[in-house]
Amino acid sequence: MKIKSTEIVDTFAEAFKMFGSRIIITAETKEWAMAAAQSITGFATSVIGCKCEAGIEKLINADESPDLRPGVSVLIFAMDAESLGKRLMERIGQCVMTCPSTACYNGLDEGTPVTVGGQLRYFGDGYQISKVLANKKLWRIPVMDGEFLIDDKFNVQESVGGGNLLILGKNQKATLRAASAATKAIRGLTDVILPFPNGVVRSGSKVGSRYKSLIASTNHPYCPTLRGAIEHSELDDGINSVLEIVIDGLSLASVETAMRIGITAAAKPGIKKISAGNYGGGLGQHHLHLHQLLASKDWSGEI
Amino acid sequence: MALKLNLHTQPDVPLEADCICPDRMQSLSKSEIEDLIIFHGNRQVPLKDFFECSGEFDGEIFIDGDLSKVKHIGAAMSFGKITINGSVGVHVGAAMSGGEIIIEGDVSDWLGPEMLGGKITVKGNAGHMVGSGYRGSTIGMQGGEIIVHGNVKNETGHVMRRGLIVVGGNTGDFTGVNMVAGTIIVLGEMGIRTGAGMKRGSIICQTKSELLPTFTRSCDYKPLFLQHYFKYLKSIGLAINDSLMNGSFERWCGDSVELNRGEILLYAGK
């Protein structure tokens, strides 16, 4: 299968069951809301090293936000609900509560509730106040610029992590351009995030390592400098740069849509192939076959 | 089809009609409902002596007539809906734990005393002791919502512990007296001695008010949590102007004769 001059490899992305949560951060201005959002999504590229994966989903206009102030929605993913609850408490406590004028709300209507505000309230040292409105509990924690307002509970739901694309280009410039086009297109979607820097990862990994202490190591079959030095390089002659886009979403459908849009946007001159990373199919619960995604009747091919 | 009750005979003395409640009428036939016992003064009489019944109970009860001498409607109610097309007497929704009561007219004293949950909406005015505890009780309203579009009289939210009371008009004296927790919002003016003896809880008022000397001014600020309340009140039809939503409030803490953990928030303007 080809899109323009780019070959779409007949392979699949191996994605995993994760647990995800949407949090809504509001503030007096969108700049302060974004400052908190950037802080909470920092050091959250991969569960391998960061315990969670997070990214900014979208901006929220004041008239659509819970407290009528500008906001940002953030998605955070971890491998299980308990771990995600801990990450939410740590990150909201350190990155949102600390940011001037912010408030933080649960952004999922359904899912399993985990207590976040109900834990962070202890920072109030006994001066915290709870308010219950329409069966929803909020905590008011006194802070130096007034009060930090946070929902007592945040919902977490089964989600999908590790949807991915590998963009194989003739050089770094063309591959970066294609990856940027793909991330720009995917960022227009809701329910998904791209957890890596600017949505792109260059240090794709494989499971395991020759060093016993490492659970993951460089994806050497896709490293262009190793072609010729290893037995099973996945790179043809003329492929000199590979970039990966990792996609986490609140549903399988949202990850599938993001992959379709990403593939279509990335198929640009200078991109020889678009492939996907998998581990032979034995690890991930979801196999997202590139050809099937693009052949789906739900997909018009337009972005 | 919902059950309809029409008061056909005005009682000489108050009627105690706690049987007018979804919990008591559930699974009863029309004739059984008509034979439910009410108290006319100290005499037991069947409901049909004063009310004409029509329709069948399906969780909802409509009541017509001047019910200002009828007491205890919806007492201990846990589900369903009662709509009263007129004014009604004391103790409506006493100790109710769920469901909804809508009163199109005025209501007398002791509206929703010791209420546990559910919602009461009064389109007119209400009397004394809205959402209060009975005399001698240390805990009043423990949950739910009471929304009065008009004015109320004294001791609204007396010993209230949880829940929300909203008054679209004015309140009398001793609003939130001995309040333990919960939220009272007054969109008009409050009488004197607001929050006397309050331990915790929030009393919010759109107008300035003279407070007891045992309250201390904390600061002027924009309480963000109020956005949620005002947004909700707008959604149920109360008039909340934009300046209130965007303005600052004076925060007073008290009552220092008690825990001093209560707050009175008075609108301070832009």
Q: What is the pLDDT of residues B181-197, one digit of tens each?
A: 999 999 999 999 999 99
- SS3 helix, strand, coil % of chain A, rounded to 5? 30, 35, 35
State residue A125's pLDDT score.
97
Evaluate if residue A279 carries a pLDDT over 90. no
Q: Which residues of B touch A124 (CB under 8 A)?
A: none
Question: Is B245 within 8 Å of chain A by CB?
Answer: yes
Q: What's the ipTM?
A: 0.93
Put simply, the answer to whether A133 touches B222 (Cβ < 8 Å) is: no
Rama region for B173: left / alpha / beta (φ>0; ψ in -120 to 50; rest): beta
Give the whole-angstrom CA distance, residue A21 versus residue B109: 47
- The whole-chain average pLDDT of chain A stands at 95
Evaluate if residue A297 carries a pLDDT over 70. no
This prediction has a pTM of: 0.93
Identify the DSSP state of A31.
Answer: H
Interface of A with B in 52-91 (CB under 8 A): 66-69
Give the whole-angstrom CA distance, residue A20 versus residue A161: 9
State residue A92's pLDDT score.
98
Evaluate if residue A299 carries a pLDDT over 70. no
Q: Which residues of B touch A133 (CB under 8 A)?
A: 164, 228-229, 232
State residue B269's pLDDT score.
84
State residue B78's pLDDT score.
98
State residue A303's pLDDT score.
55
State residue A301's pLDDT score.
63
State residue A280's pLDDT score.
85
Put simply, the answer to whether A129 touches B202 (Cβ < 8 Å) is: yes
- The whole-chain average pLDDT of chain B stands at 96
Q: How far is CA B153 from CA A198, B206, B232, in A?
A: 61, 17, 24
Confidence of residue B11 (pLDDT cuts 50, 70, 90): very high
Interface test with B, best of A102, A133, A144 (most B CBs within 10 A): A133
Confidence of residue A300 (pLDDT cuts 50, 70, 90): low
Residue A108 tokens, joined: 């999922």
Preceding amide of B255 cis, omega within 30: yes
DSSP, collapsed to helix, strand or coil, labels residue A46 as coil
pLDDT in tens, A210-222: 999 999 999 999 9
Q: How far is CA B68 from CA B7, B12, B16, in A?
A: 11, 12, 11
Nearest to B225 by CA among A60, A118, A66: A66
Evaluate if residue B170 carries a pLDDT over 70. yes
Give the whole-angstrom CA distance, residue A66 versus residue A25: 9
Q: Averaged over B64-84, what is the pLDDT?
A: 97
Confidence of residue B139 (pLDDT cuts 50, 70, 90): very high
Put simply, the answer to whether B225 touches A138 (Cβ < 8 Å) is: yes
pLDDT in tens, B108-118: 999 999 999 99
State residue A282's pLDDT score.
84
> Are A91 and A40 contacting, i.e. CB atoms less than 8 angstroms apart?
yes
Residue B59 tokens, joined: 């969780």
- Give the range among A172-186, A270-284, B109-123 with minimum mean pLDDT: A270-284
Put simply, the answer to whether A68 touches B227 (Cβ < 8 Å) is: yes
By Cβ distance, the residue of B164, B183, B221 closest to A146 is: B221
Q: Which residues of B touch A127 (CB under 8 A)?
A: 261
> Are B62 and B3 contacting, i.e. CB atoms less than 8 angstroms apart?
yes
Give the whole-angstrom CA distance, residue A260 versus residue A198: 19
One-character DSSP codes across A143-163: ETTEEEEEESEEEEEEEEEEE
Put simply, the answer to whether A131 touches B183 (Cβ < 8 Å) is: yes
Beta bridge partners of A148: A141
State residue A259's pLDDT score.
97
- SS3 helix, strand, coil % of chain B, rounded to 5? 10, 30, 60
Other residues' Cβ atoms within 10 Å of the Cβ of residue A158: 14
* Chain A closest-CA separation from residue B221 CA (Å): 7
DSSP, collapsed to helix, strand or coil, labels residue B219 as strand
Give the whole-angstrom CA distance, residue B162 versus residue A106: 23
Give the whole-angstrom CA distance, residue A275 versus residue A242: 10
pLDDT in tens, A2-55: 999 999 999 999 999 999 999 999 999 999 999 999 999 999 999 989 999 999
Put simply, the answer to whether A147 touches B224 (Cβ < 8 Å) is: yes
Nearest to A164 by CA among A285, A63, A14, A297: A14
Nearest to A11 by CA among A282, A280, A226: A280
Question: Is B98 within 8 Å of chain A by CB?
Answer: no
pLDDT in tens, A228-271: 999 999 999 999 999 999 999 999 999 999 999 999 999 999 99
> Are A176 and A243 contacting, i.e. CB atoms less than 8 angstroms apart?
yes
